[in-house]
């Protein structure tokens, strides 16, 4: 547990550009479920519009080089999403399985990674 | 991470877990390191240190009957339990227990809105219901009520009120515990009680009349460890016709005193009925750094004098103090209330007024988007801008804990408290990040709450230094009669120790109750300084 946030940062750095896990085509049901989970749990921090701390933080971080709105991202790997949800990052807290179940997290990851193109060789 | 609750053998723990699984279903008992780590306090001031308070397991019942079974099993094996509702009490402990090795009793699955009545204006909910859930329930059904909301909105009405959380709308409803009506509680031994009219089998007034007959015991279950609240009723605002806001500004340092006196008169008379918000425009915006002239003024030894700040404000065309007002009610009534408020504040020479946004309910989506959402009954998470990365903050924090002293509702008390906390910050090094002139952040109808956010660092040395300074500021402030209304587990013993009248007779009374209703000491040991008999030596 000691230093887990530091380990998490290293892990995320190694995963952010490794979307090879996107070999499977998501089903409509997965995408629909994932969008529902996103709307329920994520949108209020990461959606569009004003007063969204996650979106504003990512805008400050990437300064427009990547979309600040998570739904618009094209470079997210499912493993990265799952790590953030289960480990937290900065002021984003951990989410428990009674909040977002493993199945819901799978769907969320599929949904947010739906626009990510697999890179050959990764 | 501890593998066992305190005092339990591995064999007994395994058997307790097996029985928990039989009670709630195997998939709702969490014992793997990976799953138990999800119950860490995301904002722990012990981040990454061996002292971090962590659970040994978690069990998540879905019904009150399952909660009763779990508590009976826990009593049999003397398993330390720690109930959470939504587990989002961030800054005050999150989803982690007070005592390492406790099994978290996670009530998030109990997420049913049982009733919302928009004629008698109440709700009855389970502990896993968040403010977002309650809002959706009300919104989808078009019910004519206005929710009073805390920041952020993903906490639960039950958990927030039990920790004395505060909202933004009318004075009565902002006090979330004070506006509850009726509880269902599982006692540490598994017995079920209902308070007030809930104790009367055929009564239809559980959410209407609080007291029933005999002692009123609901307060025993807030900031305590005397029971697991499984249902709770709340009074709600009727949906008003309209909302109106306005701001009063004054130009002199000492104007704060009549400003607060007038505010009190108006609010305690029911003329302004929404949450006020005091500000100090002389210092500029809350997130922007001061301009160089102001920076030099407040940074000089001893800081700026009031006269210097008044002159600076005059040069910049800024007011010295501001007071935001909010009104809920019929359009022509609140217009008259605002007019009368202006008349009263006009007794302060130079007072100026600015009318702010006004809305008719229900608001349009565009109006909601532009509003301060929580003031119009729409939950959101914008409060997390505090500590998040932003153009003004390139180094986002890893969470925060709140230092939250109660301050009398007078202008002089604010000025005195500003000096106490400014001096304490300088003396201890505790970064009380509320600007050079801290003001109330939370407004009980009859008390101010200052709230200072202490950021959590990834550097244990910084966190250790801040913990020690936090404890020193608790003592320094208490010497001036300023004590906290709510605090994270790491500081609960210290804060409770400041409530020391007659050799801590209040705490000793709490302990007597604890011993009587939880003789095995299994429920939330240490919460707000109440330890079971065998653990009182742990107390700071």
In tens, the pLDDT along B183-242 reads 999 999 999 999 999 999 999 999 999 999 999 999 999 999 999 999 999 999 999 999
Within-domain flag for A121: no
Residue B261 or B434, more confident: B261
pLDDT for residue B297: 86
Residues of A in contact with B398 (CB under 8 A): 5, 90-91
Alpha-carbon distance of A104 to A38, in angstroms, equals 10
Q: In the CATH hierarchy, which fold is given to the domain comprising B400-486? A: Vanillyl-alcohol Oxidase; Chain A, domain 3 (3.40.462)
Instruction: Give yes or no for residue B2 having a pLDDT over 70.
Output: no
pLDDT for residue A24: 65
Q: Which of A1, A51, A97 sits opposite B35 (nearest CB)?
A: A97
pLDDT, tens only, B38-68: 999 999 999 989 999 999 999 999 999 999 9
Within-domain flag for A118: no
By DSSP bridging, strand B352-360 and strand B242-250 are antiparallel
Mean of per-residue pLDDT scores for chain B: 94
In CATH, the number for domain B10-106 is: 3.30.43.10
The alpha-carbon gap from A91 to the nearest alpha carbon of chain B, in Å, equals 5
pLDDT for residue B396: 86
Q: In the CATH hierarchy, which fold is given to the domain comprising B113-238? A: 3.30.465
Instruction: Give yes or no for residue A19 having a pLDDT over 90.
Output: no
The region of weakest confidence among B16-20, B289-293, B504-508 is B289-293
Exposure on the CB side of residue B54, measured as CA atoms within 13 A? 23
Contact call for A2 and B50, based on CB within 8 A: yes
pLDDT for residue A9: 39
Alpha-carbon distance of B219 to B234, in angstroms, equals 14
The alpha-carbon gap from B380 to the nearest alpha carbon of chain A, in Å, equals 6
- Inter-residue contact B125 to B211 (CB < 8 Å): no
Element (H, E) at B494: helix B489-497
pLDDT for residue B397: 84
**Enclosing domain of residue A51:** 4-16+27-112
Residues spanned by CATH 3.30.465.10 within chain B? 113-238
**Which residue in the list B39, B92, B444, B528 is annotated as catalytic?**
B92
pLDDT, tens only, B385-424: 888 888 878 888 889 999 999 999 999 999 999 999 989 9
The domain spanning residue A101 has which CATH number?
Answer: 1.10.760
**Which residue in the list B467, B485, B527, B528 is annotated as catalytic?**
B485
Grade residue B289 by pLDDT with cuts at 50, 70 and 90.
Answer: low
The region of weakest confidence among A36-45, B114-123, B433-442 is B433-442
Residues of B in contact with A93 (CB under 8 A): 42-43, 88, 90, 94, 399
* pTM, 2 dp: 0.93
Within-domain flag for A21: no
Q: Which DSSP letter does residue B251 get?
A: -
Mean pLDDT of A91-109: 97
Torsion, Cα of B31, B100, B217, B181 (10° steps): -60
Contact call for B389 and A60, based on CB within 8 A: yes
Q: Which of A40, A51, A96 sits opposite B87 (nearest CB)?
A: A96
Element (H, E) at B16: helix B10-24
Looking up tokens 């099993």, which residue turns up? Answer: B73
Instruction: Give yes or no for residue A16 having a pLDDT over 60.
Output: no
Give the number of beta-carbon pairs within 8 Å between A and B: 111
Looking up tokens 């097996």, which residue turns up? Answer: B18
Instruction: Give yes or no for residue A8 having a pLDDT over 50.
Output: no
Within-domain flag for A58: yes
pLDDT for residue A13: 38
pLDDT for residue B304: 86
**What is the architecture of the domain spanning B242-385?**
3-Layer(aba) Sandwich (3.40)
Contact call for A90 and B396, based on CB within 8 A: yes
Mean pLDDT of B302-306: 85
pLDDT, tens only, B463-512: 999 999 999 999 999 999 999 999 999 999 999 999 999 999 999 999 99
Strands (E), B316-416: 321-329, 352-360, 400-403, 406-407
Contact call for B382 and A52, based on CB within 8 A: yes
Q: Which of B60, B154, B388 sits opposite A91 (nearest CB)?
A: B388
Contact call for A44 and B380, based on CB within 8 A: yes
Q: Which of A5, A40, A98 sits opposite B106 (nearest CB)?
A: A98
pLDDT for residue A4: 45
Residues of A in contact with B387 (CB under 8 A): 90-91
**B497-538, superfamily in CATH?**
Vanillyl-alcohol Oxidase; Chain A, domain 4 (1.10.45.10)
Q: Distance between the two ends of chain B, CA-based, in angstroms? A: 23
Instruction: Give yes or no for residue A12 having a pLDDT over 50.
Output: no
Residues of B in contact with A54 (CB under 8 A): 384, 388
Q: Which residue, among B224, B81, B94, has the nearest Cα to B528 in the 3D structure?
A: B224
Contact call for B396 and A57, based on CB within 8 A: yes
Instruction: Give yes or no for residue B303 having a pLDDT over 90.
Output: no
Within-domain flag for A89: yes
B92 catalytic per annotation: yes
Contact call for A60 and B43, based on CB within 8 A: no
pLDDT for residue B528: 97
Contact call for B43 and A93, based on CB within 8 A: yes
Within-domain flag for A120: no
pLDDT, tens only, B320-358: 999 999 999 999 999 999 999 999 999 999 999 999 999
Number of domains in chain A: 1
Q: Least CA distance to A87: which residue of chain B?
A: B38
- Inter-residue contact B53 to B97 (CB < 8 Å): yes
pLDDT for residue A10: 38
B485 catalytic per annotation: yes
Q: pLDDT above 90 covers what percent of chain B?
A: 86
- Judged by DSSP in three states, B316 sits in helix
B131 catalytic per annotation: no
Contact call for A51 and B382, based on CB within 8 A: yes
**In angstroms, what CA-CA distances link B264 with B39, B410, B416, B447, B531?**
42, 8, 18, 10, 39
Alpha-carbon distance of B156 to B181, in angstroms, equals 16
Q: Is the ipTM of this complex over 0.95?
A: no
Alpha-carbon distance of B98 to B488, in angstroms, equals 9
Instruction: Give yes or no for residue B35 having a pLDDT over 80.
Output: yes
- Inter-residue contact B85 to B130 (CB < 8 Å): no
Contact call for A98 and B42, based on CB within 8 A: no
- Inter-residue contact B376 to A48 (CB < 8 Å): no
Alpha-carbon distance of B453 to B434, in angstroms, equals 8
Q: Which of A3, A40, A94 sits opposite B40 (nearest CB)?
A: A94
Contact call for A57 and B37, based on CB within 8 A: no
Instruction: Give yes or no for residue A3 having a pLDDT over 60.
Output: no
Q: Which of A1, A40, A97 sits opposite B38 (nearest CB)?
A: A97
Q: Least CA distance to A102: which residue of chain B?
A: B35
Residues of A in contact with B396 (CB under 8 A): 57, 90-91
Instruction: Give yes or no for residue B373 having a pLDDT over 90.
Output: yes
Mean pLDDT of B135-163: 96
Alpha-carbon distance of B419 to B440, in angstroms, equals 14
Within-domain flag for A38: yes
Which of A10, A37, A53 should we substitute to test contact with B (largest number of B Cβ atoms within 10 Å)?
A53
Mean of per-residue pLDDT scores for chain A: 82
């Amino acid at each position: 547990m000691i230093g887990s946030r530091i380990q998490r940062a290293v892990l995320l750095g190694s995963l952010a550009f490794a979307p090879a896990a996107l070999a499977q085509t998501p089903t409509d049901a997965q995408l629909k479920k994932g969008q529902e989970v996103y709307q329920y749990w994520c949108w209020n921090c990461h959606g569009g519009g004003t007063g969204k701390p996650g979106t504003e933080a990512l805008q400050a971080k990437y300064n427009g080089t990547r979309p600040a709105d998570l739904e618009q991202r094209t470079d997210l790997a499912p493993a990265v999403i799952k790590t953030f949800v289960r480990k937290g990052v900065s002021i984003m807290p951990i989410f428990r399985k009674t909040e977002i179940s493993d199945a819901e997290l799978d769907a969320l990851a599929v949904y947010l990674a739906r626009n990510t193109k697999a890179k050959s060789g990764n | 991470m501890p593998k066992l609750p305190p005092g339990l053998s591995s064999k007994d723990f395994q058997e307790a877990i097996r029985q928990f699984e039989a009670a709630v279903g195997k998939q709702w008992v969490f014992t793997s390191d990976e799953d138990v780590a999800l119950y860490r306090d995301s904002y722990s001031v012990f981040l990454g240190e061996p002292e971090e308070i962590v659970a040994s397991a978690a069990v998540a019942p879905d019904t009150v009957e399952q909660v009763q079974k779990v508590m009976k099993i826990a009593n049999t094996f003397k398993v330390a339990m720690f109930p959470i509702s939504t587990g989002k009490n961030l800054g005050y402990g999150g989803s982690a227990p007070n005592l390492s090795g406790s099994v978290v009793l996670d009530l998030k699955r109990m997420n049913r809105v049982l009733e919302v009545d928009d004629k008698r204006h109440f709700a009855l909910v389970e502990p896993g219901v968040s403010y977002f859930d309650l809002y959706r329930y009300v919104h989808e059904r078009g019910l004519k009520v206005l929710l009073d909301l805390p920041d952020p909105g993903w906490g639960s009405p039950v958990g927030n009120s039990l920790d004395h959380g505060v909202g933004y709308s009318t004075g009565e409803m902002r006090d979330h515990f004070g506006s509850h009506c009726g509880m269902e509680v599982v006692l540490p031994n598994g017995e079920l009680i209902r308070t007030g009219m809930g104790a009367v089998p055929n009564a239809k007034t559980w959410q209407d009349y609080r007291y029933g007959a005999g002692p009123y015991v609901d307060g025993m279950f807030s900031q305590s460890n005397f029971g697991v609240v499984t249902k709770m009723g709340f009074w709600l605002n009727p949906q008003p016709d309209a909302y109106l806001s306005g701001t009063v500004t004054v130009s002199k340092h000492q104007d704060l005193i009549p400003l607060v006196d007038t505010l009190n008169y108006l609010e305690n008379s029911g003329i302004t009925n929404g949450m006020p918000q005091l500000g100090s425009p002389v210092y500029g915006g809350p997130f922007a750094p001061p301009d160089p002239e102001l920076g030099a003024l407040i940074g000089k030894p001893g800081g700026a004098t009031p006269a210097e700040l008044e002159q600076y404000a005059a040069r910049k065309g800024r007011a010295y103090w501001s007071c935001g007002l909010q009104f809920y009610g019929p359009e022509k009534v609140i217009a008259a209330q605002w007019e009368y408020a202006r008349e009263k504040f006009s007794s302060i020479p130079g007072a100026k007024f600015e009318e702010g946004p006004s809305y008719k309910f229900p608001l349009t989506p565009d109006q909601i988007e532009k509003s301060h959402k929580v003031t119009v009954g729409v939950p959101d998470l914008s409060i997390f801008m505090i500590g998040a990365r932003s153009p003004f903050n390139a180094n986002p924090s890893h969470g925060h804990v709140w230092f939250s002293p109660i301050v009398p509702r007078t202008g002089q008390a604010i000025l005195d408290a500003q000096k106490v906390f400014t001096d304490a910050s300088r003396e201890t090094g505790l970064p009380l990040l509320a600007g050079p002139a801290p003001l109330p952040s939370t407004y009980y109808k009859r008390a101010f709450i200052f709230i200072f956010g202490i950021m959590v660092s990834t550097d244990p040395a910084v966190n250790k230094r801040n913990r020690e300074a936090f404890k020193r500021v608790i003592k320094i402030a208490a010497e001036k009669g300023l004590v906290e209304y709510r605090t994270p587990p790491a500081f609960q013993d210290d804060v409770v120790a400041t409530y020391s009248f007659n050799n801590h007779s209040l705490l000793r009374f709490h302990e007597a109750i604890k011993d009587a209703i939880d003789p095995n000491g299994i429920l939330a040991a240490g919460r707000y300084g109440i330890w079971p008999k065998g653990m009182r030596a742990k107390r700071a």
